[in-house]
Amino acid sequence: MAASTVGSLIQAQARERPDATYFIATETGRTLTFGALEASCRGVGAFITSKAGPAAHVSVVMPNGLATLRILLGALAAGHCVNPVNLVSQSEQMKYVLDHSDSTLVFASPEWGPRVREMVRDFDRKVEVIEIDPDAATLPCDESAAPPALPAGDPDALALLMYTSGTTGKPKGVMLTQSNLVANARNISEEHALGPADRVTGVLPLYHINAFAVTMLAPLAHGGSLAMPPKFSASRFWELPIRHGCTWLNMVPTMVSFLLEGSVPPRDAIRHVRFCRSASAPLPPEYIVAFQEKFGVGVIETMGLTETVAPAFSNPLDASRRKVGSVGRASGCEARVVDERGEPLPDGTPGEITIRGPQVMRGYYKNEAATKAAFFPDGWLRTGDVGVRDADGFFFITGRIKELIIKGGENIAPREIDEVVLRHPGVLDAASVGIPDRHYGQEIMVCVIRRQGVACDEASLRAFCVEHLGPFKTPKVIRFVDELPRGPSGKVQRLKLLENPGVAA
């Protein structure tokens, strides 16, 4: 019988390869085999149940580490609902998430413990906060007293409550079930032809859906492993695949851009790396080409949402079939482009991209209005992304519905502007947004981070845009900034450029 819960995935691997390594903490050298993971889950799960009761909501306010991973998986395997809290959220936002999630037990690292206790002090329910070092070798639970087996589990049970950070309003709690998580763990494994010999670089924080699903859960489906440092370091990144034999890289575009600025390891030292997987935000086509040329590692661009347990689109594993600039084909689900009524549009016609499949969320926690707005009546999830599908079934994202620039009645995708500006040798990063204009309705502003050591001024950049975009699409305002506002997944929050366009460089 196929595994249908996270616990059953863990049990299956523990039976088949109990002594195989699942996890490596790269700084401490500690490892976790599948057999040890299964025992850990029994102990952690029983401990949580004794503290909070069955099917409890448990928040985790911890950076990456062996203990963090054991708590997350132990809670999932025992049928609890985990809420990994984003550590870069504002204090008020974090307090809202802890309260709204209905968690009665919070695991927090020592630096977060006192702040979390202060946040939960005035909640209308009792919340226990347990401090644990994220790299701790032992947890405050008696594994010798653990039950002999994990509970059978319910595939339809709520397993993960992960909050999205919108540009406006309060975060929404995405409800994902056990079967949602298992579906995409299997899908990721199949899409990239992963097996027991594969090991991934675990450099993304586990409170992001990408790391949670792709780095942590997918190896449970294919029997592979992950090597995890405490955090991403561009200067030390290549030590991971070289020292720990990682066969694939899981990154976001920001990390790709940092690596492109760094040194190149010997090709022979990373010959075993099969591919680099990029997700969470659009990867400029020139970055894909540059990465492949510089490191000799192919890039597979993918795309997904928290609402779809990360990937819903992927380029093929076969490099000859990939399309640079596309997020790929529907992966493990159905996808289509529709008009404002939800009616399918012909290939090549821009519209909203919608998704239906086993990895699609149940809805938003305690928010019926947002759940209703997120779906068309026939059950298709509205992504809010504008794009087109070509005749080969590949999808191309051109922007967000709310971020489209409408100048003089013409729709302009911000990414179209970004990609041209990024081709200027003096530009390190850029993001475009519409600004009010009394003649055209909207004009174009682009915020630019300059590349060190390369000349780039407004006049030369404007001339470059006129040459490659034409006068109509050339930004009216060019603003040089030190940084771009990004959400937890790494996506540029364009509308925030209007609130705070950055510090002049």
Q: Which residues of the chain are in CATH 3.30.300.30 domains?
A: 404-499
> pLDDT by residue (tens digit) across 223-267?
999 999 999 999 999 999 999 999 999 998 889 988 999 999 999
pTM for the model stands at 0.84
Q: What is the CATH number of domain 404-499?
A: 3.30.300.30
- If you search the block for the tokens 């309060």, which residue do you land on? 170
Q: Which residues pair with 331 in a beta bridge?
A: none
The b/e string for 70-93 (b: 16+ C-beta within 10 A; e otherwise) is bbbbbbbbbbbbbbbbbeebeeeb
Closest by alpha carbon to 330, among 298, 370, 303?
A: 303
CATH among 3.40.50.300, 3.40.50.620, 3.40.50.12780, 3.30.870.10 for 6-389: 3.40.50.12780
- If you search the block for the tokens 């911890």, which residue do you land on? 62
Please give the mean pLDDT across all residues of the chain.
Answer: 93
> pLDDT by residue (tens digit) across 291-301?
999 999 999 99
Q: Which residues of the chain are in CATH 3.40.50.12780 domains?
A: 6-389
CB atoms within 10 A of CB 59: 27
Long-range contacts of the stretch 491-494 (C-beta < 8 A, 24+): 491/280, 491/281, 492/281, 492/431, 493/167, 494/167, 494/400, 494/403, 494/414, 494/431, 494/432, 494/433
Single-letter code of the amino acid located at 456: C
φ and ψ at residue 105, rounded to 5 degrees? -140, 130
User: Would you state the torsion angle of the CA atoms of residues 199, 200, 206, 212, taken in this order, to the nearest 10 degrees?
Assistant: -80
> pLDDT by residue (tens digit) across 22-75?
999 999 999 999 999 999 999 999 999 999 999 999 999 999 999 999 999 999
Task: Count CA atoms within 13 Å of residue 433 on its CB side.
Answer: 20
Closest by alpha carbon to 304, among 229, 213, 192?
A: 213
Say what the pLDDT of residue 500 is.
Answer: 60
Q: Quick one: how far is CA 170 from the chain centroid?
A: 19
CA angle 324–327–328, rounded 5-degree value: 85
Pairing of the two strands 275-278 and 248-251:
parallel
> pLDDT by residue (tens digit) across 365-406?
999 999 999 999 999 999 999 999 999 999 998 877 777 787
Asked if the model's pLDDT at residue 176 lies above 90, the reply is yes
